[in-house]
Structure 1
Amino acid sequence: MSIAQIIQNAWNTQAKWLIVLRPLSWIYRFGFLLNKQCYKSKFKTAYHAPVPVMVIGNITVGGSGKTPLLIQLVKYLQQNQIKVGVISRGYGGQGPFPALVTVDAMPEIVGDEPCLIVQSTGVLMAVGANRQASIELLLQHAALDLIISDDGLQHWALERQLEWIVLDQNRGLGNQKLLPEGYLREPVSRLKDSTVIEHGAHPTSELNMHLEVAIPYLLNPLYDQAELFDPCLDYYAVVGIGFPQRFYQTLESLGVEQFQCHEFPDHHDYEIDDIQFEDSNPIITTEKDAVKLLPLLRQHPTFNREIWVIPVEAVLSNQCYALLNRQLSQLGIQIA
């Protein structure tokens, strides 16, 4: 098990030994606040895009439901004739950057989440660490009404007009400590400055979302005839996401009780040996992981183990859409 996985497990269980990392958290806090103040005082110059920018992010490390929320918002805007583009860091991608993401893009080049976003929505999307360069690349290809930044909440070099922070009710804020003692990227007080969308089955806020599971599908059908998902089988749950426990809960909600957990770091670059097991039991995984597994299967056409994918869709409260409409109207963007 890697150091990253050990620390992630400690975060999830709020292990007491994390206190030994507190001096590193003090250093992180100092550096973070210093960088933020440099932009606030104009010592460093932030980029102001020619069109409004909306950042969707979180103050925690790991999965919060941000990507499903972004996908749902993009679909909503597209349905209402809003010309929207998306930018992302492209974490895990090798570049060169900035790069446009197409439906045929490879995750090792542009990152796994950008591939999933474009495959789900067809949105115009660019990735790269330099957000200004990504925005300029988008605007070379289309006139846009709005640009959504996938993550980048702490990227002060980019000015933004809207911020939505996803807060996972299930995972919460852990021990409420900054990295690396806890999994907070920013102090809890940051939640007072932006729109907070609560992600959970039993929300306490009117601004909330939850994930609904769609029909599982086979990533690699081995036979010509259609196959039905069988929750009674014994599966290998293969996941490389920030908070795998949510996926396990999803499996249990589908009636899948027999599965062996095989966890990898978030944005893991899979190799064929990662999905080789001694028996012929099927694999079950997330859409984010499937994006990386599919090219691997194409490289190994003799691989003959079924891989089932569990798709999820964000369901937003009516209040989320009402607020979004008001916020966009204030920016001169009218929902049709």
Structure 2
Amino acid sequence: MSQRARFEAQLNAIWYGQQPVPWVLRWLAVIYAWILACRRWLYRTGIKRASRLPVPVLVIGNITVGGTGKTPLTAWLATELARRGWRPGIVSRGYGGSETSTMMLPLDADPAQFGDEPVWLMRAAKCPVAIGRRRADAGRLLIDRIHCDVILCDDGLQHWSLARDIEVLVVDGERRFGNELLLPAGPLREPPSRAERVDFVVVNGSAAAPAEIAMTVDAHRLVAINDLTLAKSIADFRGQPVHAVAGIGNPERFFRMLEQKGMQVIRHPFPDHHHFRRSDFEFGTSLPIVMTEKDAVKCACLGLPDAYMVPIDVDLPIQFADQLNRQLRQFQESAA
């Protein structure tokens, strides 16, 4: 385990476990809260203004640090909106990539340049994706070049410079908001009360409250990362030891899913958006390597033998997509 991964594990033990919060983290959280309040005040008073795009904007995000399932949800929403006649485009920060300008992803986009999540989104949702520090500029690029008529902003809940019509908050059903403290004393980017001001709350895993929308993620097959035509049933790996690799926000969720499928999991957690090298996979044994789809987009060029990715299937109530479609159509008609 890398030094960064160990540090993240220590923080998670404080945020989601029973370990006491050090006083220095509490003081830093007070400073963070003050900065957050000042930033919110600048937008509320109009000193800073949010950019409004000429098409409806749907923002998907969370208020906690780490993985909650917002990126798979973004891909699901883009697919469902396309089925209902929309031309969706996705904008992202492109975190983890080297590109600093506003750009639309080419079909052969390199995750080292554009980031792993944008590349995965483009492939999974089969729709255009643009990255940029300013999501509004990325959105305009998609509107001007591809004529997208709805923009989805992945991980954009705190990107207040982009005006939005609908906000979707994604919550980890198992960990929820942890100790409910702001960073770095807790995992929260914003206070828990922020959940009351969004349009929809989607809960990934565990039971959803009556006002929330339940989202489940499952897996049924493994695909060789060096040959996408080679797929195996996940049941074929039942009882088999595997090296499980995850460089995502919540690696433990992935590891537990594999264990629930009957695999004997040897855990190899890496920091989120980790840039993998061949040496990262020198485990000393020649067992199969199993990783997430997001990690696989960065590892396909490494020539790893007996390495597989786990495509996930996202399930949500179809009524959720229908309701979003109706609301977006209303925004579209009122702007016409």
Give TM-score, length-normalised by structure 1. 0.91
CA distance in 1, matches of 2:51, 2:230: 53
Aligned to 2:205: 200
The alignment-based identity, stated in percent, is 38
Displacement of 1:19: 4.5
Change (3 A) 1:25 1:268: same
Is the Cα–Cα contact under 8 Å of residues 56 and 166 in structure 1 kept in the other structure? Answer: yes
Per the alignment, residue 307 of structure 1 pairs with 307
How far residue 226 of structure 1 moved from its aligned partner, in angstroms, is: 7.0
TM-aligned CA distance change 1:38 to 1:227, over 3 Å: closer
Gaps in structure 2 of 5+ consecutive residues: none
3-state SS of the aligned residue for 2:118? helix
**Residues 102 and 115 of structure 1 are in contact (CA less than 8 Å); yes or no, is this contact kept in structure 2?**
no
Cα offset, 1:230, TM superposition: 2.0
| Structure 2 counterpart of 1:187, one-letter code | P
Shift of 1:177: 0.4
Output aligned runs, 1:306-325, within 5 Å. Answer: 306-325=306-325
What's the secondary structure of 2:55's corresponding residue?
coil
C-alpha distance in 2 between matches for 1:163 and 1:73:
13
Q: What is aligned with 2:330?
A: 330
Counterpart of 1:103 (choices 104, 107, 120) is 107
Go from structure 1 to structure 2 and tell me whether the alpha carbon gap of 1:307 and 1:18 turns closer, same or farther (over 3 Å shift): farther
CA–CA distance in structure 2, aligned partners of residues 211 and 333 of structure 1: 34
> Partner of 2:257 in structure 1?
250
Residues 271 and 126 of structure 1: CA distance in aligned 2, closer, same or farther (over 3 Å): same
**Kindly tell me: are residues 59 and 254 of structure 1, through their superposed partners in 2, closer, same or farther at Cα, counting changes over 3 Å?**
same
Q: Which residue is equivalent to 1:264?
A: 270
Does the 8 Å contact 2:224/2:230 carry over to 1?
Answer: no
Query: Is residue 150 of structure 1 aligned with residue 154 of structure 2?
Result: yes
Aligned residue among 35, 47, 53 for 2:57: 53
Distance 1:255 1:71 in 2: 28
Equivalent in 7, 17, 25 of residue 21 of structure 1: 25
Aligned pair 1:69/2:73, yes or no? yes
Deviations 1:164-193 (A, max 9, x none): 001111121100000001101000000000
| CA deviation vs aligned residue, 1:106-142 (integer Å, no higher than 9, x gap) | 1111110111111112211100111122122212212
- Give the direction of change, closer, same or farther, for the CA distance of 1:178–1:294 in structure 2 (3 Å limit): same
Count of residue correspondences: 326
Q: Distance in 2 between matches of 1:130 and 1:181?
A: 28
Quick one: distance in 1 between partners of 2:120 and 2:12? 24
Bigger shift: 153-162 or 311-320? Answer: 311-320
* 1:172 and 2:179 aligned: no
Task: Quote the residue 1:279 is aligned against.
Answer: 285
CA–CA distance in structure 1, aligned partners of residues 75 and 220 of structure 2? 15
Question: What secondary structure, in the 3-state scheme, does the structure 1 residue paired with 2:237 have?
Answer: coil
Is 2:190 aligned against 1:183? no
Q: What is the CA distance between 1:92 and its match in structure 2?
A: 0.4
TM-superposed deviation, 1:147:
0.3
Provide the rounded CA distance (Å) in 2 between the counterparts of 1:328 and 1:207: 18
- Structure 2 partner of 1:300: none
Structure 1 window deviating more from structure 2 (138-147 vs 152-161): it is 138-147
Query: Residue 68 of structure 2 aligns to which amino acid in structure 1?
Result: S
Q: TM-score, normalised by structure 2?
A: 0.91
Task: Please tell me the root mean square deviation across aligned C-alpha atoms, in Å.
Answer: 2.1
Corresponding residue of 2:42: 38
Which amino acid in 2 is paired with 1:113?
A: E
Describe the shift of the 1:143–1:227 C-alpha distance in structure 2 as closer, same or farther (beyond 3 A).
closer
The CA distance in 2 between the partners of 1:59 and 1:331, in whole Å, is: 25
Match of 2:82?
78
Q: Distance in 1 between matches of 2:107 and 2:192?
A: 37
CA distance in structure 2 between the partners assigned to 1:21 and 1:117 by the alignment: 35
2:164 maps to which residue?
160
Offset of residue 40 of structure 1: 1.1
1:145–1:333: 8 Å Cα contact kept in structure 2?
Answer: no
Shift of 1:278: 1.1
Unpaired runs of at least 5, structure 1: 298-302
Partner SS state of residue 332, structure 1: helix
1:215 to 216, 221, 244: 221
In 1, the alpha carbon distance for the partners of 2:139 and 2:330 equals: 22
1:14 and 1:313, CA in 2 relative to 1: closer, same or farther beyond 3 A?
farther
